[in-house]
Amino acid sequence: MAAVGETMMFKKVLVLAACLMATTMATSASAAVTMNSASPDWVQVPGAGATWVLPATTACGTENNNTCEPVGIFYGNTSWNGAPSYLELLEGGTTDAVVSDIVTFDSNGPGGVFRVMFYSDPTQFPDLTGMTLYSSGTEDPTTGGTLGPFPICCQLTGVDVQIWSDGENFYDPLNVGYDTSDAIQFAGATVPEPLTLSLFGAGLAGAAALRRRKKRAA
């Protein structure tokens, strides 16, 4: 009888863990829009929510050289029926007609979710056919530039986006403590928490403990 009782308890723990994970995921999805980064080179700013920066690097030969900067890719947790659109920043000074950065907004993420692409490398600029230019700005060649914040419509109502791009000097608009090339912030959005995995892990740990007790009893 004891073995049967422990087997039933084992099953209950697993079911509880699965229910907790499902409930937490549903609550998180309904409570707020979340944004994920699919770009390991872009660093999330601690304590700033859905905010990422691209650290400046000399890997391209000179600091702030924008011919090998990785594209920032960000996904929402919801579909989006807004019009495909983009922001652009132009180089300041004598090259103020040259586009330095393009940020696109569409619903081409996995499964049709909201997607944002931050292009800092002109050699990787996308085809903008069929996309609407939402706003354009010019960088200061020394101090850089910013666009926004702008509200995002439709399923992301309540979320604002703002972008930053550097000049030729040390650039740290979000006070991260180091030189950055670009940055993006989705104010009003959150980032996924590891809580669901923690709950599931706790449930599995409890189940493993029950199995060990059962073996010792046998």
pLDDT digit of tens for each residue in the chain (218 aa)? 545 455 555 445 444 444 444 444 443 434 589 999 999 999 999 999 999 999 987 565 444 455 578 999 999 999 999 999 999 999 876 556 789 899 999 999 999 999 999 998 888 999 999 999 999 999 888 888 999 999 999 999 999 999 999 877 889 999 999 999 999 999 999 998 764 435 445 554 554 555 555 555 55
Structural domain boundaries in the chain: 2-27+195-217, 34-187
Residue 143's region, left for phi above 0, alpha for psi from -120 to 50, else beta, is alpha
Relative orientation angle of helices 2-31 and 195-217, to the nearest 10 degrees: 180
Q: Is the pTM of this model over 0.75?
A: no
